[in-house]
Structure 1
Amino acid sequence: MRPSAKRSTLPSVIAPLARLGLVSALAWASAAAAVDQPSTYPGCATRAVTVPWGGSVKVDLATCQSFGLGDVATPPAHGTAAPGGSPADSYTYSHKGAAPAGGGTDTFVVLDDNSDRITVTVTIQAGTSSIVATPGELPPLSAGTPVRQTLAASGGTAPYRFRVDSGALPKGLALAADGALSGTPTERGAYGFGVRVQDARGQSATLSYGGTVQGAAMSLSPEAVIATPGVAFRHALTVRGGVAPHQFTLEPGPALPAGVAIGGDGVVTASASVAPGRYPVSLRVTDASTGTGRHFELERFTLGVGGLPSASIEVTPAAVAEDGGQPLVFTISLDAAVATDTSVTLAASALPGAPAAVTIPAGATRARLVVRPTADATAEPDEVVAFAVADGSGYTIGSPARAAGTIRNDDTR
């Protein structure tokens, strides 16, 4: 916050400053010390723009700042206001296309780089089309997460054609003429664009979309691996989420022993001479998304030399309908990946043809066992299907060691 002006000292210093020709500079400094007043940049206290119903308009405020515009102090009631430029030198107003009925006005206030107010009045032109386009808002977007969204229209004469007529789609997305919005965002940050839909008779309507592409959540796979003592080891880590390729950096803290390395590409190597033990570390995983700064997360990873992984089992969902077509999915998991295939022995409830074991491939930590109900028209009791991890070689029994799912009868007597 800027210091407030000390008015009581001005008379004693104005005369000397006047002789030096500095009165104008002092007056400017005193005016600039006020906060939350109309902007003192020329022509910036108020601005007026016009926007089509459901459309977008850029409010150029480049002459109203020297170091970048501030926040939206008062948001608009009938749309959104998103900053543009780096640093921000404009705002894009997007009308939501719902109110006020018959057109009208909207107002929002942004702050200049002196924290003074710029009041923008928006004249909203009346809508003239009976066409209604949907959806009104897009689902949350994150960099690296695929988007599949269909825009639709009603109230006119099919077929409809869609196109972007203002602003720009988030980088990585494309809009087809049939309204299919698809792609994978690659840049984090605010976005705003307008879409025009036109029917077979030439009538049209617009929709405006705005929001922020967030950084995606990321997870490391596997979170632990086990190497065999006396045998050289190599394993490539993978990341779910974010924009590939990912970069890996070892964080300060517990260090890896001599002979173990984790490359920037996530490849873990260990020489045959590494002593048995467990070596937990923290990895900084950075994705390739663009935008302000870099997007990263810290992930825990453990290299074990010697020892055995533990095996556990879970089922989803807990129950299915006999005639519903949805299966019970049993997931058998190891708490660490190993360099060879692991055969996990299973004990099953009375289930014809149930497998006696499931193999988890080398370098993986999961395998699935799918049980599909047999549809029939016979009224019968519910059936419980259960599997348990049994003793075997190459693993220990973990928790949970047993999982049970129910096949509900949906036939009446």
Structure 2
Amino acid sequence: ATLPNATAEAAYTATLTAAGGTAPYTFSISSGNLPVGLSLNASTGVVSGTTNVAGSFTFGVRATDSSTGTGAPFSATNSYTLSVGAPAITVTPSTLPAAAVASAYSQQLSASGGIAPYAYTVSSGNLPAGLTLSGSGLLSGTPTAAGSFTLIVQAEDAHQFTGTQSYTLTVASATVILTPATLANPTAEAAYS
């Protein structure tokens, strides 16, 4: 009577059956359309495939039996609404290691749950000055400002499905060291450096 929900970019299969007539039955779409990527097997009643679109899709299916004679063949039609959800895309790592002013920084981000390749962007907030995020997910550079920076990174997969991860990146102040710790004693009337 109903079909199980589907998830975009994931293989889907559901079997429709008919009873009350003379087998075998032939199945066909009587109205509307299946999501792109899914198909109905006319002889088995199996709806299967992989769709790359999310949404709600309404369509009708007709099952026709193999009866002969007056009024034959006999058929029944049912209307279905198939909900296709977006894939759950996860961006990792869940936290970023701390950075320091004037020290080179590099952290590779990755994503899963969708279809590669992924494109990475900062969808909210700002990176510290001196750091950039490449489209391939490499966060790198040399920070020039200390502080705590809050941002959201978005990963978009090959079919425009997205996942996000919120980060707080702490950039420590630079540690300035003056050397040597002590000075050698000079001698009067002798060059000193």
Give the match for residue 393 of structure 1.
none
Alignment check: 8 A CA contact 1:172 1:186 kept: yes
How far the C-alpha of 1:226 sits from its partner, in A, is: 4.5
State the Cα distance separating 1:253 from its structure 2 match: 2.0
Does the CA contact (< 8 Å) of 1:287 and 1:295 recur in 2? yes
1:256 aligns to 2:134 (yes or no) = no
Cα distance in structure 1, aligned partners of 2:23 and 2:170: 62
Q: Distance in 1 between matches of 2:97 and 2:74?
A: 65
2:33 counterpart letter in structure 1? A
- How far off its partner does 1:159 sit? 3.5
Q: Deviations over 1:333-369 (max 9, x none)?
A: xxxxxxxxxxxxxxxxxxxxxxxxxxxxxxxxxxxxx
Structure-1 residue corresponding to 2:59: 193
Does residue 223 of structure 1 match 2:94? Answer: yes
Tell me which amino acid in the other structure corresponds to 1:151.
Answer: L
Q: What amino acid does structure 2 have at the position aligned with 1:235?
A: Q
Residue 139 (structure 1) aligns with: 4
CA distance in structure 1 between the aligned counterparts of 2:93 and 2:50, rounded to whole angstroms: 24
Structure possessing the higher relative contact order (Cα contacts under 8 Å, 6 or more residues apart): 2
Secondary structure, aligned partner of 1:153: coil
Equivalent in 81, 89, 93 of residue 210 of structure 1: 81
1:90-105 alignment to 2 at 5 Å? none
Whether 1:238 and 2:108 are equivalent positions in the alignment is no
Residue type of the alignment partner of 2:20? G
TM-score of the aligned structures, taking structure 1 as reference length: 0.32
Residue of structure 1 equivalent to 2:30: 165
Look up the match of 1:281.
151
Tell me which protein shows more helix as a share of its residues: 1
Displacement of 1:238 in angstroms is 1.0
Aligned 8 A contact 1:227 1:233 in 2: no
What CA distance in whole angstroms lies between the structure 2 residues aligned with 1:148 and 1:278? 48
Q: Distance in 2 between matches of 1:140 and 1:169?
A: 13
Q: How many residues align?
A: 162
AA in 1 matched with 2:120: F
Counterpart CA distance in 2 for 1:263 and 1:269 is 7
Q: Which amino acid aligns with 1:195?
A: V
Q: Tell me, in whole angstroms, the C-alpha distance in 1 between the residues paired with 2:21 and 2:143.
A: 72
The one-letter code of the counterpart of 2:65 is D
Change (3 A) 1:256 1:150: farther
Over 3 Å counting, the alpha-carbon distance change for 1:161 and 1:244 in structure 2 is farther
Q: Please tell me whether the aligned partners of residues 170 and 191 of structure 1 are also in contact (alpha carbons under 8 angstroms).
A: yes
Residue 270 of structure 1 corresponds to which residue in structure 2? Answer: 140
Quote the offset at 1:220 in angstroms. Answer: 1.8
Within 5 Å, which residues of 2 pair with 1:311-350? none
Cα deviation code 1:64-91 (max 9, x no counterpart): xxxxxxxxxxxxxxxxxxxxxxxxxxxx
Give, as a single letter, the amino acid of the residue that structure 1 aligns with 2:53: E
The runs of 5 or more residues in structure 2 that have no matched partner are 68-72, 172-193
Q: Is the 8 Å Cα contact of residues 149 and 182 (structure 1) preserved in structure 2? A: yes
Q: Give the C-alpha shift of residue 192 in structure 1.
A: 1.9
2: distance between equivalents of 1:244 and 1:208? 35
Partner residue of 2:41 out of 176, 190, 193: 176
Q: Secondary structure at the match of 1:154?
A: coil
Aligned-residue CA RMSD in angstroms?
3.8
How far the C-alpha of 1:221 sits from its partner, in A, is 3.0
| Residues 91-150 of structure 1: CA deviation (Å, up to 9, x unaligned) | xxxxxxxxxxxxxxxxxxxxxxxxxxxxxxxxxxxxxxxxxxxxx112234433432212
For residues 200 and 303 of structure 1, do their structure 2 counterparts lie closer, same or farther at Cα, with a shift above 3 Å needed?
farther
